[in-house]
C-alpha cells in the first residue's frame, strides 16, 4: 500500500498543475494548490513515520524491474527531504494567498499557482527518485518553473535576476547531465543502487572521475555553494515574496540532498576522499560562512540580506558534509530542516513588511517594528534561531557541528562557527535596529488607491503562516525527536552504505 502512495507525491501535482492553469478564478486556483500541498504533506509525513526507524520502501515505476526501469527508493533521508519540501510548500501556500494577490498581475495568478505546483513536483521528484537520469528530469522541471516564478516578481530587476539564474542554472544542469552521461558510458546503468553495487568493476576508468567532477560542479551551482552562489542573492531578492519563502527553504536544500546522494550513495566515500574533495568542500564551506555573513551584514535591503545569509548557512551544511562523520552529517541534514524553517519564517516576515510598506529597504522601514509588534517579534525569534541561541533550532545544528569538529580535530571549523555566529548577531541586529531602534520615519507608501484600508492590517493567513514558522523555530529547538531521529537514521544509512 505504502509503495503506491509514494508515487502519488509526484502524480498529484503533475495532474493538478495543468488543471489549475485552466482556471480563471484566483481563489479556486489557490484552493486547489493549497489542497495539493496539504495532501503531499500528509503523504510525506505518513511516509516519514514509516521509514524513520531505518527501513526502505521501494516502488518500481510501471512494474519494470530496476536497473532497467525507474525505481523510487524511500529511506529516512528521502522522506525527510520530501517532508521539508511539502511542509514548507503548505506554509508558503497559506501565506501566498494575499501576498500573491498583491504582487502578481491578476491574470497570471492561476499560471503562478500552476508553476508553483510544477516546482513542488520537481523538488519532490528529485527527493524520491533512485534514478540519476530521472533526477535530472525533475531537476529541470523544478528549475524551469523556478525561472518563470522568479520572473513574475514585481520589481523589474526580477527579469534580469531570472535570466541570469536561467543561464547559470542551465549551465549547472548541463554539467550534471554531462556527468550522468559519462557515468552511464562507464557503467551502463542509471540506477543509483545498481551503479554503487557494481562500482568496483569500472572504478579505474578516468571517465568515472570526470563524471564525478562534472556532477559535483553542476550541483554546486544549483546549490549555490560558494563561489558559485552569484545567482542566488538577486534571484531570492527580487522574486515574489512567496517564492522567496519557498525557494530559500527548499531549492538549495534539495540540491544539497543530491550532493549527499552522489557522494555517499553513488560513489564510495574512499573514492572522493582520495580526490581531496572533503578538504576542498570544507574550505569552501568555511569561506562561504564568513563571506556570506559578512556580505549579509553589508546589505541595506532585507531580502538581499537574508539571501546572503543563506549563502552562509549553505556553508554550514557543506562543512557538516565534508567532516564525514556521524555528528557532522547529522548536523548537516538537520540544518537542511532547521534552516528551511528559519529562513522561510524570515522571508515571510520580510514579505509582510513588503506587503504593508511596499519596500524592504532597511532604511525606509525604520521604526516599523513598533507599528507591527507581532510580525517584529516573529522576525526576532527567527533571527535568534539564525544566530543559534539555545532553545531554538539553530542552536541544535551548531551544537552537533561543533561536536563533530572537535571530534575530528578541525579547529578551523570551530573558529568559523564562532565567527559566523558573531557576524550573524551583527546582521540580525541590523534588521532589529532599523525596524525598532532607529527613529521612526514616515512611510512613503506608493501604488495604493486612496481610501484603501487593506494596507493598514496584515492579512490573517500571512500572520498565521508567519507564526507557524516562528513556533516551529522554538518547538524543534526543544523537541528534537523528529528531526534528530530522521537525521541520525539518514546519516547512519549514508555512512554505512559501503560499510
Partner 1 sequence: MPFSMPNLLLASMIIPLIGALLISRLDKKPNLREAVTLLTAFVLFAVNILIYLQLDFSYADAGTNGHFTIAEPIQGLSVAFSASPFGSMFALIASGLWIATSIYAMGYMRAHHEKNQTRFYLLFAIAIAGVMAVAYSDNLFTLFLFYEILTVSTYPLVTHAGTRDARKGGRNYILILMGSSILFFLPAMIIVWIVANDLTFTQGGVLDGNLDAVWAAPLLIMFLFGISKAGLMPLHRWLPSAMVAPTPVSALLHAVAVVKAGVFSIVKVVVFIFGTDFITRTNANDWLIFIPLFTIVAASLIALQKDNLKERLAYSTVSQLSYIILGVLLANKMGVLGAGMHIAMHAFAKISLFFAAGAILVTTHKKNVSQLAGLGKQMPFTFAVFTIGTLSIIGLPIFGGVWSKWYLVSGAIDFTGPVITYWAVLSALAISSMLNIYYLLSIPVKAFFEPAPNDQAVGIKEAPVACLIGMAIPTLMTLYLFFDPSLFYKLAATLSKVY
Write out the residues near partner 1 by the rule CB under 8 A. Answer: 387, 389-391, 395-396, 399-400, 402-403, 406, 418, 421-422, 425, 429, 437, 439, 477-480, 484
Which C-beta is closer to partner 1: that of 117 or that of 385? 385
Element (H, E) at 6: helix 2-22
Which C-beta is closer to partner 1: that of 32 or that of 378? 378
Inter-CA distances, 348 with 99, 190, 345, Å:
10, 39, 5
Q: Rounded to the nearest whole angstrom, what is the least distance from the CB of residue 390 to partner 1 in the complex?
A: 5
Q: Rounded to the nearest whole angstrom, what is the least distance from the CB of residue 342 to partner 1 in the complex?
A: 15
163 in Cβ contact with 153 (< 8 Å): no
Q: Rounded to the nearest whole angstrom, what is the least distance from the CB of residue 403 to partner 1 in the complex?
A: 7
Alpha helices, H only, 104-240: 109-128, 132-151, 157-187, 192-197, 199-202, 206-222, 231-238
Q: Rounded to the nearest whole angstrom, what is the least distance from the CB of residue 446 to partner 1 in the complex?
A: 28
Q: Rounded to the nearest whole angstrom, what is the least distance from the CB of residue 91 to partner 1 in the complex?
A: 22
Which C-beta is closer to partner 1: that of 150 or that of 368? 368
Which C-beta is closer to partner 1: that of 184 or that of 399? 399
Q: What is the largest CA-CA distance in the chain?
A: 74
Which C-beta is closer to partner 1: that of 192 or that of 330? 330
Which C-beta is closer to partner 1: that of 266 or that of 341? 341
Beta bridge partners of 191: 131
Helix (H, G, I), strand (E, B), or coil: what is residue 448?
coil
Place of cell 540580506: 305
- The values of phi and psi at residue 457, to 5°, are -130, 150
Whether the CA torsion 323, 329, 331, 337 is positive or negative: it is positive
Q: Rounded to the nearest whole angstrom, what is the least distance from the CB of residue 78 to partner 1 in the complex?
A: 25
Q: Rounded to the nearest whole angstrom, what is the least distance from the CB of residue 95 to partner 1 in the complex?
A: 25
33 in Cβ contact with 93 (< 8 Å): yes
64 in Cβ contact with 191 (< 8 Å): no
Which C-beta is closer to partner 1: that of 201 or that of 479? 479
497 in Cβ contact with 264 (< 8 Å): yes
Q: Rounded to the nearest whole angstrom, what is the least distance from the CB of residue 437 to partner 1 in the complex?
A: 5
Which C-beta is closer to partner 1: that of 233 or that of 394? 394
Cα angle value 282/490/404 (rounded, 5°): 40
Inter-CA distances, 356 with 99, 212, 359, 452, Å:
10, 47, 8, 12
Amino acid at each position: 500500500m505504502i509503495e503506491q502512495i509514494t508515487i502519488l507525491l509526484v502524480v498529484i501535482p503533475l495532474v493538478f498543475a495543468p488543471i489549475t492553469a485552466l482556471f480563471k478564478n484566483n481563489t479556486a486556483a489557490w484552493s486547489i494548490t493549497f489542497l495539493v500541498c496539504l495532501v503531499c504533506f500528509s503523504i510525506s509525513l505518513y511516509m516519514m513515520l514509516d521509514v524513520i526507524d531505518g527501513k526502505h520502501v521501494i516502488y518500481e515505476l510501471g512494474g519494470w524491474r530496476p536497473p532497467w526501469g525507474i525505481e523510487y527508493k524511500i529511506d529516512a533521508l528521502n522522506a525527510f527531504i520530501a517532508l521539508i519540501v511539502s511542509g514548507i510548500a503548505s506554509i508558503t501556500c497559506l501565506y501566498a494567498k494575499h501576498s500573491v494577490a498583491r504582487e502578481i498581475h491578476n491574470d497570471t495568478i492561476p499560471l503562478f499557482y500552476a508553476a508553483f505546483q510544477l516546482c513542488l513536483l520537481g523538488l519532490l521528484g528529485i527527493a524520491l527518485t533512485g534514478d540519476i537520469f530521472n533526477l535530472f528530469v525533475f531537476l529541470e522541471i523544478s528549475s524551469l518553473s523556478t525561472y518563470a516564478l522568479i520572473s513574475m516578481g514585481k520589481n523589474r530587476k526580477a527579469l534580469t535576476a531570472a535570466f541570469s539564474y536561467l543561464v547559470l542554472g542551465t549551465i549547472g544542469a548541463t554539467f550534471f547531465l554531462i556527468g550522468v552521461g559519462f557515468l552511464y558510458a562507464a557503467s551502463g546503468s542509471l540506477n543509483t543502487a545498481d551503479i554503487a553495487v557494481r562500482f568496483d568493476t569500472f572504478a579505474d576508468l578516468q571517465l568515472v572521475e570526470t563524471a564525478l567532477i562534472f556532477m559535483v560542479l553542476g550541483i554546486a551551482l544549483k546549490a549555490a555553494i560558494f563561489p558559485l552562489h552569484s545567482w542566488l542573492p538577486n534571484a531570492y531578492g527580487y522574486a515574489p515574496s512567496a517564492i522567496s519563502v519557498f525557494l530559500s527553504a527548499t531549492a538549495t536544500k534539495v540540491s544539497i540532498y543530491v550532493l549527499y546522494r552522489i557522494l555517499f550513495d553513488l560513489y564510495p566515500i574512499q573514492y572522493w576522499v582520495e580526490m581531496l574533495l572533503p578538504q576542498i568542500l570544507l574550505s569552501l564551506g568555511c569561506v562561504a560562512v564568513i563571506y556570506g555573513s559578512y556580505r549579509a551584514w553589508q546589505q541595506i535591503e532585507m531580502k538581499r540580506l537574508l539571501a546572503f545569509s543563506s549563502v552562509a548557512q549553505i556553508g554550514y551544511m557543506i562543512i557538516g558534509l565534508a567532516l564525514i562523520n556521524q555528528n557532522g552529517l547529522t548536523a548537516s541534514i538537520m540544518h537542511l530542516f532547521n534552516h528551511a524553517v528559519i529562513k522561510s519564517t524570515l522571508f515571510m516576515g520580510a514579505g509582510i513588511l513588503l506587503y504593508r510598506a511596499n519596500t524592504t529597504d532597511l532604511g525606509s522601514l525604520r521604526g516599523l517594528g513598533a507599528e507591527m509588534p507581532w510580525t517584529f517579534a516573529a522576525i526576532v525569534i527567527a533571527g535568534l534561531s539564525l544566530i543559534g541561541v539555545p532553545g531554538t533550532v539553530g542552536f541544535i545544528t551548531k551544537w552537533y557541528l561543533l561536536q563533530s569538529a572537535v571530534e575530528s580535530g578541525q579547529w578551523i571549523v570551530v573558529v568559523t562557527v564562532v565567527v559566523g555566529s558573531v557576524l550573524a548577531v551583527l546582521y540580525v541586529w541590523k534588521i532589529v535596529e532599523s525596524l525598532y531602534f532607529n527613529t521612526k520615519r514616515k512611510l512613503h507608501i506608493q501604488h495604493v488607491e486612496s481610501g484603501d484600508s487593506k494596507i493598514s492590517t496584515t492579512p490573517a493567513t500571512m500572520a498565521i503562516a508567519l507564526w507557524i514558522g516562528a513556533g516551529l523555530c522554538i518547538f524543534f529547538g526543544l523537541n528534537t525527536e523528529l528531526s534528530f531521529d530522521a537525521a541520525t537514521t539518514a546519516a547512519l544509512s549514508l555512512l554505512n552504505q559501503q560499510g
